[in-house]
Amino acid sequence: MSRVYNFSAGPSMLPEEVLKKAADDMLEYGSTGQSVMEMSHRSKEYQAIIDEAEADLRDIMNIPDDYYVLFLQGGGSTQFSMIPLNLMNKNNKADYIVTGQWAGNAYKEALKYGNARKVASSEDKTFSYIPKTTREDFDKDADYVHICMNNTIYGTKYHELPDTGEVPLIADISSCILSEPLDVSKFGMLYAGAQKNVAPAGVTIVIIRKDLVGNAMDITPNMLNYKTHSDNGSMFNTPPCYCIYVAGLVFKWIKEIGGLEEIKRRNDKKAKLLYDFLDNSKMFKGTVVPEDRSIMNVPFVTGDKELDAKFIKESSEAGFINLKGHRAVGGMRASIYNAMPYEGVEKLVAFMKKFEEENLNV
């Protein structure tokens, strides 16, 4: 067997240790005589799995007690509707910063339910930067402000949070959850689909301040009401059992290697290696302004579509897969989530160097 280096934006790589543990447990979990996939979600064994996953996540992210942790379904995209339905509930107003496609989708969905306002956008430069805002830019009466913290497609990231005053800040952290320490208390709510940095696709993690739950609009479908899930420990209906189990294994892996401080050290080191190469290359260029660069998603181009295509083809043949950029940006994108080893980036950079030498001025 030879495993490739998978630079996919999502679903993406999982740590090999986690895959091995899941494989060991596949036919029989503990001494239950069954796999986790076959287990009743009402069994005491499964209850222990979900409880431990929540406890480990709270521990790693240092989540305060006045926040719920929910394991939901529907992906990051279902949150785009759940957020306005549940939280545009005082003045029917919300402020959105549009820094890319996901942030834009969230904004468009909110327009259906109330007075959503686009406060700032970086669309003028193909979302290659994070727009600056001050407290005065936000409506004091807004029910919340929504941002996308790490823009998966465009490779930008908020390194400093916008100052929204008293208005709760909500962040989509689908592609940066668990990539570094984060002060949860600065947010009203955080959410992430699991398939970028946590688990297989199928579970969505919501971390929400308890006082924000319980005032959903009357039209809110029961399944889209946070209270339905917080009242029932994420077990109102059948949860995505197996995904939550794998997420739990990933949380344990993070704890074992030293928590989010260590994860950040590793991620910074990987990203620096790649960005330093891009900054010194005569062929490849990063597409994002340096101060707003993501440490998870690194888009780059050669400036020549044919050369991009050649690079994507040859890199894939060499075992570096899914480097093709999103159709909105073109070129290439290397997603270097937690599970991508340093060695994977090192080998990619060596490959890029060689490609540059072979193809420059030919």
Ligand X SMILES: *Cc1c(COP(=O)(O)O)cnc(C)c1O
For residue 265, give every residue at least 6 positions away whose Cβ sits within 8 Å of its Cβ, in sequence order, or none. none
Q: Indicate whether 197 belongs to the interface with ligand X (CB under 6 A).
A: no
Q: Is residue 253 annotated as a catalytic residue, yes or no?
A: no
Strands 93-98 vs 115-121: parallel, antiparallel or unpaired: parallel
- CA-based nearest residue to 205, from 248, 237, 264, 143: 248
Which x/- pattern over 146-165 shows residues binding ligand X (rule: CB under 6 A)? --x---x-------------
The whole-angstrom separation of Cα 17 and Cα 24 is 11
Which x/- pattern over 54-83 shows residues binding ligand X (rule: CB under 6 A)? ---------------------xxx------
Residue 105 CB, nearest approach to ligand X (Å): 7
Which of 175, 225, 234, 302 lies at the binding interface for ligand X (CB under 6 A)? 175
Q: Is residue 196 annotated as a catalytic residue, yes or no?
A: yes
Query: Which stretches of the chain are DSSP H helices?
Result: 16-25, 44-61, 75-87, 101-110, 226-230, 241-257, 259-280, 305-317, 342-359
Joined together, the tokens standing for residue 28 give 């029989």
Q: Indicate whether 102 belongs to the interface with ligand X (CB under 6 A).
A: yes
Which x/- pattern over 273-312 shows residues binding ligand X (rule: CB under 6 A)? ----------------------------------------
Q: Indicate whether 335 belongs to the interface with ligand X (CB under 6 A).
A: no
Q: Indicate whether 172 belongs to the interface with ligand X (CB under 6 A).
A: yes
Question: Residues binding ligand X: what is the number (CB under 6 A)?
Answer: 12
Q: Indicate whether 193 belongs to the interface with ligand X (CB under 6 A).
A: yes
User: What DSSP string describes 35-77?
Assistant: -GGGS-TTSHHHHHHHHHHHHHHHHHHT--TTEEEEEESSHHH
* CB contact at 8 A, 110 and 118: no
Residue 200 CB, nearest approach to ligand X (Å): 11
Query: Which stretches of 154-240 are DSSP H helices?
Result: 226-230
Helix or strand (DSSP H, E) at 117: strand 115-121
Only segment of 28-36, 168-176, 266-274, 342-350 that touches ligand X (CB under 6 A): 168-176
Which x/- pattern over 110-149 shows residues binding ligand X (rule: CB under 6 A)? --------------------------------------x-
Q: SS3 for 207?
A: strand
Residues that bind ligand X (CB under 6 A): 10, 75-77, 102, 148, 152, 172, 174-175, 193, 196
